[in-house]
Structure 1
Amino acid sequence: MRRLGTGIGWRPEIADAVERMPGIDWVEVVAENVCPGHLPQALLRLRERGVTVVPHGVSLGLGGADRPDEGRLRALAERAEALGAPLVTEHIAFVRAGGALTASPRLEAGHLLPVPRTRDALDVLCENVRIAQRALPVPLALENIAALFSWPGEELTEGQFLSELVERTGVHLLIDVANLHTNHVNRGEEPAQALAALPVEALAYVHVAGGFERDGVWHDSHAHPVPRPVLDILTDLAARAVPPGVLLERDENFPEPGELERELEAIGEAVRAGRRRAGGDASGDGAVAGGAVAGGGGVAVLARPVTGVRGREDTRQRLGVAQAAVLSSLVAGTPVPEGFDRVRMAVQARALAAKRAGVVAKVAPELPEILGAGYRPAFLGYARERPMGGGYRRDALDFAGYLLAAGLPQEAGVRKALREWWLDRAGPAPRARGRAGRVRRRVLLLRG
Structure 2
Amino acid sequence: MRELGTGIGWRPEIADAVEGLAGVDWVEVVAENICAGHLPDSLLRLRERGVTVVPHGVSLGLGGADRPDEGRLAELAAKATALGAPLVTEHIAFVRGGGPLTASPALEAGHLLPVPRTWDALDVLCENVRIAQEALPVPLALENIAALFTWPGEELSEGRFLAELVERTGVRLLIDVANLHTNHVNRGEDPAKALAELPVEAIAYVHVAGGVERDGVWHDSHAHPVPPAVLDILSDLASRATLPGVLLERDDDFPPAEELAAELAAIRATVRGAAIRPTGAEAGPVAAPAPAPRPEAGPVGAPGTRAVDAGVRQRVGIAQAALLSALVAGTPAPEGFDRARLRVQTRALAAKRAGVVARVAPELPEILGGGYRPAFLAYAASRPMRGGYRRDALDFAEHLLIAGRPEDPVARRRLTTWWQERAGARPPGRTGRLVRAARAALVGRRAA
TM-score if structure 1 supplies the norm length? 0.89
1:324 aligns with 2:321: yes
Give the structure 1 partner of residue 302 of structure 2. 303
* Aligned pair partner of 2:341 in 330, 340, 344: 344
Distance 2:309 2:240 in 1: 37
Give the structure 1 partner of residue 31 of structure 2. 31
Aligned-pair CA distance for 1:278: 3.1
Distance 1:312 1:26 in 2: 41
Alignment of 1:194-343 (within 5 A): 194-275=194-275, 278=277, 303-304=302-303, 312-343=309-340
* Aligned pair partner of 1:363 in 360, 364, 386: 360
Gapped regions of structure 2 (runs ≥ 5): 280-300, 427-448
- The letter of the residue matching 1:226 is V
Q: Compute the RMSD of aligned alpha carbons.
A: 1.3
Tell me the secondary structure at the aligned position of residue 89 of structure 2.
strand
- Which aligned runs of 4 or more in structure 1 are off by greater than 4 angstroms? 305-308
Aligned-pair CA distance for 1:313: 0.4
Task: Give the aligned length.
Answer: 405
Give the structure 2 partner of residue 186 of structure 1. 186
- The letter of the residue matching 1:336 is A
TM-score if structure 2 supplies the norm length? 0.89
Alignment of 1:77-92 (within 5 A): 77-92=77-92
Give the structure 2 partner of residue 372 of structure 1. 369
Aligned-pair CA distance for 1:385: 1.7
Give the structure 2 partner of residue 433 of structure 1. none
Distance 2:403 2:304 in 1: 56
Aligned-pair CA distance for 1:304: 3.7
1:387 aligns with 2:393: no
Tell me the secondary structure at the aligned position of residue 385 of structure 1.
coil
Distance 1:307 1:81 in 2: 30
Aligned-pair CA distance for 1:271: 0.7
Aligned-pair CA distance for 1:428: 4.4
Deviation sequence 1:383-440 (CA, Å, 0-9, x none): 00210111100000000000000011000100110000001111249xxxxxxxxxxx
- The letter of the residue matching 2:366 is E
Sort the Cα spacing of 1:173 and 1:86 in 2 relative to 1 into closer, same or farther, 3 A. same
Distance 2:81 2:305 in 1: 33
Aligned-pair CA distance for 1:242: 1.0
- The letter of the residue matching 2:168 is R
Give the structure 2 partner of residue 293 of structure 1. none
Distance 1:46 1:305 in 2: 37
Aligned-pair CA distance for 1:279: 6.9
Gapped regions of structure 1 (runs ≥ 5): 281-301, 430-448
Identity over aligned pairs, percent: 76
Tell me the secondary structure at the aligned position of residue 173 of structure 1.
strand
- The letter of the residue matching 1:381 is A
Are the counterparts in 1 of residues 169 and 304 from structure 2 also a CA contact under 8 Å?
no
Distance 2:392 2:137 in 1: 32
- The letter of the residue matching 1:224 is H
Distance 2:4 2:303 in 1: 32
Distance 1:428 1:399 in 2: 15
Deviation sequence 1:331-361 (CA, Å, 0-9, x none): 0000000100000000000000000001101
Deviation sequence 1:249-275 (CA, Å, 0-9, x none): 000000010000000011111111212
1:5 aligns with 2:8: no
Give the structure 2 partner of residue 118 of structure 1. 118
Are the counterparts in 1 of residues 167 and 303 from structure 2 also a CA contact under 8 Å?
no
Give the structure 2 partner of residue 15 of structure 1. 15
Tell me the secondary structure at the aligned position of residue 253 of structure 1.
coil
- The letter of the residue matching 1:356 is R
Aligned-pair CA distance for 1:307: 5.6
Tell me the secondary structure at the aligned position of residue 90 of structure 1.
strand
